[in-house]
């Protein structure tokens, strides 16, 4: 009786390896920083050969940027789905986020001009000594 594993489609395997490499660089960079993250660390954590990394990416920077692009695309999909569920338009939601961010910047500048420090939620006045 021969026990053979079913062969997975090549595209699936390649896609899974790319995903593992992008996850590895994201995790390692978060733990030890971009400069300290070495190709050897990435291929070890992703369980791929160095050649596989270079067959898919031009190098560490290309892999890092691909991981960022992938994450941003995933985030956009989640936001678009949430907006569709709520009946809101994605661009309107992005505009609202930009307005809120601008308001926070304006408040921070106002606090700074007034001699206040911004703590978690409430500004506190800095008393010179």
What is the pLDDT tens value at each position of the chain, 129 positions in all?
556 777 888 898 899 999 999 999 999 999 999 999 999 999 999 999 999 999 999 999 999 999 999 988 888 888 777 777 666 666 666 666 666 666 666 655 555 555 554 444 444 444 555
Q: Name the token pair of 19.
A: 């995903």
Q: Is 79 helix (H, G, I), strand (E, B) or coil?
A: helix
Residue from 93, 89, 34 nearest 65 by CA: 34
Question: Helices (DSSP H) in the chain: which residue ranges?
Answer: 10-32, 39-46, 50-56, 60-86, 90-113
What domains sit in the chain, N to C, each tagged with a CATH number?
A: 10-125 (1.10.10.60)
């Amino acid at each position: 009786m021969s026990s053979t594993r079913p062969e997975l489609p090549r595209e699936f395997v390649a896609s899974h390896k790319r995903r593992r490499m992008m996850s590895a660089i994201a995790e390692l960079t978060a733990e030890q920083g971009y400069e300290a993250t070495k190709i050897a660390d990435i291929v070890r954590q992703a369980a791929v050969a160095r050649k596989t990394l270079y067959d898919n990416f031009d190098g560490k920077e290309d892999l890092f940027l691909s991981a960022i692009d992938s994450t941003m695309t995933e985030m956009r999909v989640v936001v678009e789905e949430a907006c569709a569920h709520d009946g809101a338009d994605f661009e309107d939601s992005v505009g609202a986020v930009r307005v809120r961010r601008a308001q926070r910047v304006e408040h921070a500048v106002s606090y700074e001009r007034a001699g206040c420090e911004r703590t978690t939620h409430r500004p506190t006045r800095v008393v010179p000594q």
